[in-house]
Structure 1
Amino acid sequence: MGEREFVDKDKLILRGLKFHGFHGVKPEEKKLGQKFVIDVDAWLDLSDAGKSDDISDTVSYTDIYRIVKEVAEGPSQNLLESVAHLIANTTLLKHPQISAVRVKVCKPHVAVHGTIDYLGVEILRYKKKN
């Protein structure tokens, strides 16, 4: 399943979710923590929800937000890749109507020599076919 199949398809969008977490490989990151900014796109058919105006025909943004919060503020991971992976997999497992999820995890405060907005990772995961 290629990404092109998702162009012009329905999705839920969560942008700029901010959390204080303890992810990273450096001891000070694990001890002091830092801010993380996370974006999520979740692809699913929203046509029934659009017709019915009923929350039961979609996935609540707050359900996805809770997953992101639990991972971001949860047990320390060494890599942002692990944080993104946990968010994506948990989202797909808890919401079978979601066919794909994109997760972007950003660290705006990174000790690098230069001016940056953030450094981070972005992953795209698809629901496994049975």
Structure 2
Amino acid sequence: MDDCNLKYQDKLILRGLQFYGFHGVHPEEKEQGQKFLVDIDAWLDLRIAGETDDIINTVSYTDIYRIAKEIMEGPSQNLLESVAHLMANTTLLKYPQIHAVRVKVGKPDLLLHGPIDYLGVEILRSRFNNEK
């Protein structure tokens, strides 16, 4: 789904969030942990917030950040898919004014046979499309 298919084009943007967590399927990932990179987009109507200049008419970036931090630094999950899904669903449940959430979670410190920035997943969850 492209941004243009969403009901609202306005969004909150959180980029380059860094956390240390213990997610992964390998024992060393669960024991030693590793750094994770997270990007989040949250679509909602920001017109009233723009007109009133009042935080009550939007969702605070820090509230979304706290959800990401709690999940990334919380109980271990095997899959990044699970981590991203938890972040998106928690955000949608906690903030009904948010219509869709995109979460990207990356692992930058993998030992592979070549240079990489990161490997990861990106998911999009929306209230109006019932995507699974």
Distance 2:102 2:73 in 1: 19
Distance 1:127 1:66 in 2: 21
Change (3 A) 1:96 1:7: closer
SS of 1:88's equivalent in the other structure is helix
Q: Structure 1 residue runs of 4+, over 6 Å off?
A: none
Amino acid at match of 1:89: N
- Structure 1 unpaired stretches of 5+: none
Amino acid at match of 2:115: T
Residues 6-21 of structure 1 aligned to structure 2 (within 5 Å): 6=6, 9-21=9-21
**What root-mean-square deviation, in Å, do the aligned CA atoms of Structure 1 and Structure 2 show?**
1.7
- Structure 2 unpaired stretches of 5+: none
Residues 1-130 of structure 1 aligned to structure 2 (within 5 Å): 2-3=1-2, 4-6=4-6, 9-127=9-127
When normalised by structure 1's length, the TM-score is 0.94
Measure how far apart 1:28 and its partner are. Answer: 0.5
Change (3 A) 1:76 1:17: same
Q: How big is each residue's C-alpha offset from its partner over 1:29-64, in whole Å with a ceiling of 9 and x where there is no partner?
A: 000000000000000000000000000000000000
Distance 1:5 1:24 in 2: 33
Deviates more, 1:18-27 or 1:120-129: 120-129
Distance 1:77 1:89 in 2: 15
Amino acid at match of 1:98: I
Measure how far apart 1:128 and its partner are. Answer: 5.2
When normalised by structure 2's length, the TM-score is 0.93
2:12–2:41 Cα contact (<8 Å) kept: yes
State the percentage of identical aligned residues.
Answer: 71
